[in-house]
Amino acid sequence: MTKLLEWLLGVSVVVTAWGLLTFDLLDLKVPQVYREVVWPMPVYLLVVFGCYSIATVGYRVATFNDCEEAAQELQAQIKEAKLDLKKKGLKF
C-alpha cells in the first residue's frame, strides 16, 4: 500500500468515526456532551498538528549543530594536503 493510500485510509476511518458520532448516524443516542466535544475535533487536531509542526521545526532549526571545529579542521588539513601533494610531485 502506498503512503498516499495509507493516509486516505486513515483519514477515512477518522472522518467516518467523527461523522457517526457527531451526527449520531447509528442512532446510538450518544449524550450531547460527547457530541459537543467530538464535533470540533478535526479542527482542533489540525491546529494542534500545526502548532506541533512549528514548534518541532523551530526547535530543530535552533539546535541545528554548527560545525565550527569541522570547518577549521578541514582548512588545516587542506593546507597539509597541498604541501604533501606538492612534495609528491602534484602540479596543481
Instruction: Give the residues lining the site for another protein (CB under 8 A).
Output: 2-4, 53, 56-57, 60-61, 64-68, 70-71, 74, 77-78, 81-82, 84-85, 88-92
**CB of 43 vs another protein, minimal distance in Å:** 19
Alpha-carbon distance of 12 to 72, in angstroms, equals: 53
Shortest gap between Cβ of 28 and another protein (angstroms)? 33
CA 91 to chain centre: 49
Residue number with CB closer to another protein (2 or 32)? 2
Q: Are 25 and 38 in contact (CB under 8 A)?
A: no
In the complex with another protein, the residue whose CB is nearer, 35 or 82, is 82
Cβ 25 to another protein shortest distance, Å: 30
Cell numbers for 44: 482542533
Residue 90, CA distances (Å) to 68, 80, 84 in order: 30, 14, 9
